[in-house]
Structure 1
Amino acid sequence: MLDHALPDIESWVLLFNSNSLPVLRITKRRIDEMRANMDRVDARELARVILQDPIMTVRVLAYIQPFRGRALQHDITTIASAVMMAGIEPFFRRFEELFTVEDQMKDGGTPALLGVLQIIRRAQRAADYAQEWARWRHDINMEEVRIAALLHDLAEILIWCSAPKIGLAVQEQMKNEPGLRGVDAQKRIIGFPYLDVQRELCRVWHLPELLQTLIDDDNAAQPRVRNVTLAVRLARHSAHGWDDPALPDDYAEIGQLLNITPEAVRQRLGLEPMPAREADGEQLS
């Protein structure tokens, strides 16, 4: 693992592009179990396992892109389609030797491992929110929205896995300076935001243009991108509880996206909603 920042974006991209990226231990275990019963594996069942793991998801998408050029005129933007395109047996051969996040981080100490697992958990929650809201909005392809939310902070996850001291340093800066934006803390530590590394990885891995668009907050005027952005924001702001001062604004913007009230958003999240009359300043009889 690195204990220092690399000099430029290209160096980070080279590091991630030349190494076999680690997946979650539970992902490896479930894929190994499925490999043992390969004849009975369903592509959608396999996709559900992959779609809980941001690194495994991007590895599958990067793996399948060369197939697209040979056989298809359009991008492959879902994991089930990628698995079916590759074929079940070739898929299991390609991902036979999976290294895990937990193994890679074992020398980095408990705070480093907990840090990356928390970020991955945050990505999983963002993906769940994004998919649920996409269903509510009758999105034509909910999985694309889920994948975009899952991969939104991929570069942050990869940097934590390879250089946990950097991740911890960024985290410490934000803890010491409440209100400091993550992007600004990242610039202080490595010289540029994680998003710049991520954009270049998307280009090098030839990820589908649609997914690149959905991941990029600069396109937030588009409703599908807004769906992803708000899901990521809610997962980040609620990562340590539901008392973050930014959450009321999140509820309002999510309500605008879904055409429901902020109170209805809270209710859908399983939080205690305020009684409508009390919220309006009226006394309940």
Structure 2
Amino acid sequence: MDTPAPSDSPQPVTPAFLNWPLRDLRAWVRHLLRAEVPVLASTAQALEALRAREDDIGPADLSPVLRADPLMTVKFFAHVATLRRNDDATETESITSALVMTGITPFFTHFGPQPTVEERLRDHPAALEAVQEILQRSERAAHFAMAFAVHRSDTDVDVIHEAAFLHDFAELLVWCHAPALMLKIRQAQAGDPALRSAVAQRSVLNIELDDLRQTLLRLWHLPRLLIRISDGKHADHPSVQNVVLASRLARHTMKSWDNPALASDVEALSRLLNASPRVTLAFLHKVDGSATA
């Protein structure tokens, strides 16, 4: 599918909410490339506090703020990609190394006071509640993913952690721009617990959010390793399976451990970890307990 290049897009704007689905993936991508990406209010506030002492801080002070917000992370990496020369084969794969490359003052020069998700959705409390739930799920997925990667002695632990944390950033964006449509999906799945997310998304949005995520990651030129590990439709690599299973388990255990989909998740994870399902389930409970301790 041909998709518009970021450089062809006008300056970001804050479009009206979408109450009707766009035609296809290309239309969704074009719309979101033109739209301003909001960040969490806590991120915007933290950035302004750091801006006030810009001369006294370094990448180690700024990177935790960016890393805690999936939307700000994607927004920053997309900016970093525009600074690389076309013939530059070097690719920064961490927020800290990217900040070292950009510099603190240029960062604040480019990123002024940020629009926030909370302001964008101030009249849509149900959507804002959904966003908060997705953020909690993203943190949970990242925690699971890191534990699985460490257990497997994977050399890309940090990227796997980041990929799991960013897994649902496209869903966050669509909640910010089409809350009514996303509520339709949520209501459809509440009425039919067996309804798969991908099916509901195609029915309401005319796209799957996984496809939207991967297309935006590529067009915003995020690190290649991060894009590859995020691609759940090509889950033949253990690192990809790690991220996919961490995201599924985070979704299926958010509210309880009684989700009927959990059994197949545990079976798949047991194969990845080379352990029995009983040992794998015990390991999952241990990992979950360490996150809430």
- AA paired with 1:174? Q
CA distance in 1, matches of 2:289, 2:263: 15
* Structure 2 counterparts to residues 1-285 of structure 1, below 5 A: 1-69=17-85, 72-108=88-124, 110-260=125-275, 261-262=279-280, 263-270=282-289
Quick one: structure 1 residues 259 and 183, their matched pair in 2 at CA, closer, same or farther if it must change by over 3 Å? same
2:10 match: none
RMSD in angstroms over aligned alpha carbons? 1.9
C-alpha deviations, 1:82-123, integer Å up to 9, x for none?
111111111122112201000000122x11110122112211
Which stretches in structure 2 are left out of the alignment for 5+ residues? 1-16
Deviates more, 1:259-268 or 1:166-175: 259-268
Distance 2:255 2:29 in 1: 31
> Which residue identity is paired with 2:288?
L
The DSSP-based 3-state class of the residue aligned with 1:106 is coil
Distance (whole Å) between structure 2 residues aligned to residue 167 and residue 29 of structure 1: 27
SS of match in other structure, 2:84: helix
Q: Partner amino acid for 2:289? A: G
Q: Which amino acid aligns with 1:78?
A: S
Give percent identity, aligned residues only.
36
Letter in 1 for 2:284: V
Code of the residue aligned with 2:126 in structure 1: it is P
2:169·2:213 contact (CA, 8 Å) conserved in 1? yes
**Does the CA-based 8 Å contact 2:48-2:113 persist in structure 1?**
no
CA contact (8 A) 2:22 2:206 kept: no
Unaligned runs of 5+ in 1: 272-285
**Whole-Å separation in 2 of the counterparts to 1:166 and 1:145:** 30
- Any conservation in 2 of the 1:9–1:197 contact (CA below 8 Å)? yes
Equivalent residue, structure 2, for 1:280: none
Deviations 1:151-196, CA, capped at 9 Å, x for gaps? 2222211111101011110111111112110000011112221122
Deviation at 1:70, TM superposition (A): 6.0
Q: TM-score, normalised by structure 1?
A: 0.88
SS, match of residue 176 in structure 2: helix
2:221 is aligned with what amino acid?
H
The answer on whether the counterparts of 1:22 and 1:100 sit within 8 Å (CA) in structure 2 is: yes
Instruction: Name the count of aligned residue pairs.
Output: 270
Give, in whole Å, the separation in 2 of the partners of 1:248 and 1:187: 26
Report the alpha carbon displacement of residue 259 of structure 1 after superposing the two structures with TM: 4.0
Task: Output one character per residue of 1:190-223: Cα deviation in whole Å (capped at 9) or x when no partner.
Answer: 2221122222212321222222111111222211
Contact 1:123–1:151, Cα closer than 8 Å, also in 2: yes
Q: Distance in 1 between matches of 2:147 and 2:49?
A: 28
219-228 vs 255-264, greater mean Cα deviation = 255-264
1:255, 1:265 within 8 Å by CA — same for their partners in 2?
A: no
Could you tell me which residue of structure 2 aligns to residue 281 of structure 1?
none
Give the aligned partner of residue 278 of structure 1: none
